[in-house]
Structure 1
Amino acid sequence: MLKFVRLVILTLILQIALISNAYAQFFLHDEAHLFVDAAVKARTIGIEIEFAGVPDDVTIRLIKKHFGGRGSHSDEENMILLFNTKSGPVKLKVEGSAWRFESSGLEKIHDAQLEEDYKMAPREIVLPPLRYEDLPKAQALLDDLKAAGAQGTSPELAISLQANIQMGDLLASQKNVDDLVNLMRVYFKKDHIKQSRALLNIPEIRQEFLQDLSPGFMKVLENPNYKPTARRLYDDFMYRQSLELLGHKNAWVLPISAVRKQLLEYDRDSIVVQRVVKMSKLRVSSLLLDAFREDPLSQVIIRSEWARPAPIVEFRE
């Protein structure tokens, strides 16, 4: 079953609940107030819909029905069509496995897999950042996809619906940094993870894409006195966590200058740690890249196309 998202805010903390009819807000039970106010409605919401079971011509017709626009081809290898609409660009993409073979020397395997992906792989519709009042159009598209036979997450399909929520510029105020830290604290709290897994019933096949933070970063995050600057948060999340996951036990005790030096000495295929930049249940790398685009590590990640700078966090469960 395809599920939609409803935006909610809890004081300074954002949380997305996937819904069929209506799931209650479930793991922010320890907070006092739940509301959607004008400040929340001012944020834009990007939605990515992964699905299988619907022919491309039917999907194209439904995109045009709800968002309008004319489809055109793109240079992106997994892009079927790009629609220029009044709401912004709507992308229809192949959600395949060719990306697993992008390392040097695997070009033939990559090309063969990409050809197979176009024939058999699930599809993904990437909607532009939508205003709150535009969300009914996304819901209507989802309803029509479901009626057309679309299949969502299942034990055999590692696909989902993801929401990208606009966040404040980390360099603009310390409050924006605090909001992000508080969001991660709530989202990765062990009890909350247990509750969300029980409620959403996420199949094992998707767990590869929904990993937790590293033990070292979780230890830092759970310290109530951890109130980093934007720069320190970037260094801890991107540099120290990456080095830890590459097997360096001293990643959290070395001076940050030494951590940066060691990580940047890795080759491109190793320096981009997928668990840090993408394969997480809450993806914050785009927001951090947006704040520090010129950092050498940011430059490598952006060129790798594993993440792009954007003022968003992505809820991937």
Structure 2
Amino acid sequence: MLPQSPPTPQSYQGRTRRVGVEIEFAGLPPQETAKLVLNLFGGEISVVSPHRFKVEGTRWGTFVIELDTQYAHPDAKLLEEVPRMDSEWERQRHQMRVDFHNRTRQLIGDVVTGLVPTEIVCPPVPWDELGELDALFKALYSHGAKGTDASLLYGFGLHLNPEVARLDVADILRQLRAYLLMAEWLRQEIDIDITREVLPHANPFPKPYALKVLALGYAPDLDGLIADYIEFNPTRNRELDLYPLFAYLRPDYPHELLHNKLVKARPTFHYRLPNAQLSQFGWGAVVEWNRWVEVERLAADHDELTRRAEAYVIYHTRSRLTRWAGKLRDWIREARTPS
């Protein structure tokens, strides 16, 4: 399968748009995974800490492979601290504290290996080269990695971070509107795993927020768009997380959610919905990218986007009885239609 071209294949910087890919899985610890990445894409392995590795110098940049829990890794803030006083005793005391912290975090990682997933954070890859990245997913599965469908306990996902084509509010709003209209279709196409439906990591947007954004008169400036997003979505756990993009566009915006250490400012959408379907033949980043492209195609079709937004608002602001009656009429019509 080949990656489909988005309506705007070039970025606002005039180069081929890139896509960051993240995947979670079980069955293969970080060190073995790093060797696998090295064998596929070259580069050199760098040991950051016992449960976090980098593969640097690949054609696309640096892969980060780690246990997906912050408690298995040294706290960077603590490591950056300096002794409180300039004395030999204080320096030794500080070093003892750092050594104890590092050993504790390593022990935690040793204990939870196999219980928490391994995560690969890939470097940004040009969208038309995603097919080459898909070799990674096939190799992971052949080496024993387990994806979402391997256990009811596995709520693993694949995240895409498509680089935005433009930075203006109007274009971002069009993409958001298109996503809200396509979200149900995406969930059906992906067939979201029941465990991921229960877990909060990729929750759908609240209906009142969708109605607000899809209203034809909704035309906020950037700060207004951010303020409304925060009001209705005070969490990173949305199927389409816009906090990284907002943090990039407004680094000085006065709200703690945009300054959370887990929010990495970047000019991308953070699409968190797909399962990690490692056991599914032919599955990979290209499959999920092609689904995402359908969102961008709708966003680029002004008339269709407007028509569907208007229909959505009309339907979801009618009474439940009226909506039920409409569905009943559709069922009767289908039943009377000759097969």
Q: Which of 1 and 2 has higher RCO (CA within 8 Å, sep 6+)?
A: 2
Q: 1:110-156, CA deviations, whole angstroms, 9 ceiling, x for partnerless residues? A: 96865533353211111111123432331111111121122111232
Of 118, 123, 129, the match for 1:128: 123
Counterpart in the other structure of 2:264: 308
Q: Distance in 2 between matches of 1:117 and 1:303?
A: 28
Q: 1:86-121, CA deviations, whole angstroms, 9 ceiling, x for partnerless residues? A: 32111001124859xx9xxxx9xx968655333532
Q: Distance in 1 between matches of 2:210 and 2:17?
A: 28
State the one-letter code of the partner of 1:296: P
Of 179, 190, 199, the match for 1:200: 190
Counterpart in the other structure of 1:92: 65
CA contact (8 A) 1:168 1:311 kept: no
In terms of Rg, which structure is larger?
2
CA contact (8 A) 1:286 1:312 kept: yes
Say yes or no: does 1:64 pair with 2:54. Answer: no
CA contact (8 A) 1:48 1:162 kept: yes
CA contact (8 A) 1:82 1:92 kept: yes
Equivalences, count: 236
What's the TM-score once normalised by structure 1's chain length?
0.65
Q: 1:167-193, CA deviations, whole angstroms, 9 ceiling, x for partnerless residues? A: 1453xxxxx32222122222222xx33
Q: Distance in 2 between matches of 1:58 and 1:45?
A: 25
Of 208, 232, 241, the match for 2:232: 241
Counterpart in the other structure of 1:166: 163
CA contact (8 A) 2:30 2:53 kept: no
Q: Distance in 2 between matches of 1:211 and 1:302?
A: 19
SS at match of 1:120: coil
CA contact (8 A) 2:147 2:154 kept: yes
Counterpart in the other structure of 1:291: 249
CA contact (8 A) 1:302 1:308 kept: no
Q: Distance in 1 between matches of 2:226 and 2:184?
A: 27
Counterpart in the other structure of 1:117: 112
Q: Relative to total residues, which structure has the larger strand share, 1 or 2?
A: 1
CA contact (8 A) 2:44 2:57 kept: yes
CA contact (8 A) 1:66 1:137 kept: no
CA contact (8 A) 2:247 2:259 kept: no
The offset of 1:224, in angstroms, is 1.3
SS at match of 1:49: strand
Structure 1 residues 120 and 7, CA gap change in structure 2 (3 angstroms): farther
Counterpart in the other structure of 2:201: 209
CA contact (8 A) 1:64 1:70 kept: yes
The offset of 1:205, in angstroms, is 1.6
Aligned-pair identity in percent equals 21
Structure 2, gaps ≥5 residues long = 76-100, 274-339
Say yes or no: does 1:51 pair with 2:34. Answer: no
Counterpart in the other structure of 1:82: 54
CA contact (8 A) 1:67 1:85 kept: no
Counterpart in the other structure of 1:270: none
SS at match of 1:82: strand
Say yes or no: does 1:42 pair with 2:50. Answer: no
Structure 1 residues 305 and 5, CA gap change in structure 2 (3 angstroms): farther
CA contact (8 A) 1:47 1:163 kept: yes
CA contact (8 A) 1:94 1:118 kept: yes
The offset of 1:55, in angstroms, is 4.2
State the one-letter code of the partner of 1:241: F
The offset of 1:304, in angstroms, is 3.0
SS at match of 1:158: coil
CA contact (8 A) 1:41 1:131 kept: no
Q: Distance in 1 between matches of 2:268 and 2:15?
A: 15
Counterpart in the other structure of 2:146: 151
Counterpart in the other structure of 2:237: 279
What's the TM-score once normalised by structure 2's chain length?
0.61
